[in-house]
Amino acid sequence: MSTPLNSDEISTALTKLPGWSLERDALGKTFVFGSFREALSFMVRAGFEAEALNHHPEWTNIYQRVAIRLTTHDAGDKVTAKDVELATRLQKISWVG
């Protein structure tokens, strides 16, 4: 079982994750790409990162937008180090900020 991060730990993590925020006990961000193809290619690449961590996002895709929500279910749907790690990896592979 994962341990939820406290508010100070989450705040510190968010300083290194541009555009990410805490939304309803989850890390969230919407990426806006130039086209549907770009959004889809990001999602495929993000899927490999999620699989590598065995930690999967809640996400939606509408045309060029990919909205991501990260929370850890076995920690009572709270933010954990797993969420911060996946957000960090997604941030690194994104070419739109």
- Predicted pLDDT of residue 10: 97
β-pairing verdict for 27-32 and 65-70: antiparallel
Averaged pLDDT, groups of 10, the chain, 97 residues long: 93 97 96 98 98 96 98 94 98 92
Instruction: Quickly list DSSP for 42-95.
Output: HHHHHHHHHHHHT---EEEEETTEEEEEE-BGGGTSB--HHHHHHHHHHHHH-S
- pTM, full prediction: 0.94
| Domains defined along the chain, listed by start | 7-93 (3.30.1360.20)
Q: Is 39 helix (H, G, I), strand (E, B) or coil?
A: helix
